[in-house]
């Protein structure tokens, strides 16, 4: 979905990077396990810091200029859209994987900063991580280099 948005805006696709995906996955798992939603983890590490702790540095050189660091989009959704009770038993209206992914992509495209990450022409690699908390929250992290 993200590459489709890039294509609509005349940009090339982002390539999958397994190291970036691992950084994103670890952040999603950490948010799910520790019940928080933020770009900085509970130790105060941002995406670039978290990458550096595992030996991943995103450095891009443009002649005499360079950029450094990972960009990040995060989303928190739910496994289900509603719950009704029948004789005290919860009945969930479960979201499909596509519905969850669409909600994240749509939310990011409707947010200035997240949209900017998706449509930055110098980003060429990405990784996505998804984790589900015990309460049904779905945490999605997408990191960019």
Q: For residue range 8-29, what is the model confidence (pLDDT) as tens digits?
A: 999 999 999 999 999 999 999 9
Phi, psi of 120 (to 5 degrees): -75, 120
Res 94: pLDDT: 95
pLDDT digits (tens, 9 = 90+) for 92-138: 999 999 999 999 999 999 999 999 999 999 999 999 999 999 999 99
CA distances from 101 to 10, 20, 43 (A): 22, 18, 28
- pLDDT tens sequence across 51-104: 999 999 998 888 888 788 999 999 999 999 998 999 999 899 999 999 999 999
Phi first, then psi: what are they for 49, rounded to 5°?
A: -60, -45
Closest to 73 in 3D by CA, of 47, 51, 95: 47
pLDDT at 10: 97
Q: What six digits make up the tokens of 8?
A: 């609509």
Identify the pLDDT of residue 60: 84
pLDDT at 122: 93
Q: Return the sign of the alpha-carbon dihedral for residues 21, 23, 33, 135.
A: negative
CA distance 54 to 57: 9
30-55 exposure pattern, b = at least 16 Cβ within 10 A, e = fewer: bbbeeeeeeeebeeebebbebbbeee
Taking the CA atoms of residue 40, residue 38, residue 74 and residue 90 in that order, the dihedral angle to the nearest 10 degrees is 140
Q: What is the structure's pLDDT at 125? A: 96
Quick count: other Cβ atoms within 10 Å of Cβ 133?
18
Q: What is the mean pLDDT of residues 19-45?
A: 98
Residues 3-9, mean pLDDT to the nearest whole number: 97
pLDDT for the residue 65: 81
| pLDDT computed for residue 22 by the predictor | 98
| Residue 36 half-sphere exposure toward CB, CA atoms < 13 A | 10
- pTM score, whole prediction: 0.92
Cβ(124)–Cβ(12) below 8 Å: yes
């Amino acid at each position: 979905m993200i590459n489709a948005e890039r294509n609509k805006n005349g940009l090339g696709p982002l390539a999958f990077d397994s190291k970036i995906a691992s950084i994103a996955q670890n952040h999603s798992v950490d948010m799910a396990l520790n019940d928080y939603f933020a770009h900085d983890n509970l130790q105060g590490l941002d995406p670039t810091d978290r990458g550096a702790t595992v030996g991943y540095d995103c450095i891009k050189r443009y002649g005499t200029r360079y950029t450094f660091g990972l960009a990040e989009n995060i989303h928190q959704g739910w496994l289900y859209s509603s719950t009704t009770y029948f004789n005290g038993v919860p009945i969930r209206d479960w979201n499909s994987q596509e519905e969850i992914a669409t909600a994240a992509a749509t939310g990011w495209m409707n947010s200035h900063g997240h949209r900017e990450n998706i449509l930055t022409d110098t980003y060429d690699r990405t990784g996505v991580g998804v984790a589900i908390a015990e309460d049904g929250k779905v945490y999605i992290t997408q990191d960019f280099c």
